[in-house]
Amino acid sequence: MNNKRLSDVERFYGLLEELSHRLGGPRRLSDCSGKLNWPSRGVYFFMEDGETRSESGSGQRIVRVGTHALTATSRTTLWTRLSQHRGTVRNGGGNHRASIFRLLIGDALLGAGTHSCPSWNARKHDVSAADIAAELPLEQAVSRNIAAMHVLWLEVDDAPGGNSKRGIIERGAISLLSNHERAWIDPPSTNWLGHNSTRPLVRDSGLWNQNHVCEPDNPAFLDLFEELVERV
């Protein structure tokens, strides 16, 4: 095992624990709404019941890292992005073509054999209204899965763009936590849904992420992460 990477992972989780303390703990996504005092922009960290740390300490491991509004024209807020992942409260559905997180969860449910949905991986312009209606049961299953997860968030209210601090933290955290082609640190449980994914990067990384999981970790982001956590 790479002792330097393990030390960096331990530092990351120590900072995340401090963030959790300052926020009053993580929130289950199903308990969240737009009425909470969300920052306009930030980075989010998802945890999943049954997914715990082993080598780096105790507690839940992070299963997805994300942010939003990295392009100069984007106006998406933090809560808007989280609500896209959670899905529609009214009917329990959602739109997996607007959320790669939802797409990946649904793909794993299909891989587990619990659902059938031939159009799930089709692009938006290749599906009909009937296809979208037939996708509802799987969309609902995805919503239940994601809504049951816990989330922490870090306010990072900088402008969209290629040099966004949000992008630096997202990229740094994913590349650090990813186990792709490395000795495992905090591997997923044997029951983790991601083992059923058709996406090798999900299975090999242990994360519900694909971008940045193959990149070498650069712990320089941890100094920025610490600085922003101390401002919370």
Question: Where do the domains of the chain lie?
Answer: 3-229
- What b-and-e string marks burial along 147-180, b requiring 16 or more CB atoms within 10 Å of the CB? bebbbbbbbbeeebeeebbbbbbbbbbbbbbbbb
Q: Cβ–Cβ contacts within 10 Å for residue 97, how many? A: 15
Tens digits of residue pLDDT in 71-87: 888 889 999 999 999 99
184: Cβ contacts below 8 Å, ≥ 6 apart: 55, 206
153: helix, coil or strand?
strand
Tens digits of residue pLDDT in 20-47: 999 999 999 999 999 999 999 999 999 9
Burial class (CB in 10 A: 0-12, 13-18, 19+), 122: middle
Task: Classify the C-alpha dihedral 11-12-16-22 as positive or negative.
Answer: positive
37: Cβ contacts below 8 Å, ≥ 6 apart: none
**Would you put residue 90 in left (φ > 0), alpha (ψ -120 to 50) or beta?**
alpha
Per-residue pLDDT of the chain (232 residues; tens, 9 = 90+): 579 999 999 999 999 999 999 999 999 999 999 999 999 999 999 999 999 999 999 999 999 999 998 988 888 999 999 999 999 999 999 999 999 999 999 999 999 999 999 999 999 999 999 999 999 999 999 999 999 999 999 999 998 887 899 999 999 999 999 999 999 999 999 999 999 999 999 999 999 999 999 999 999 999 999 999 999 9
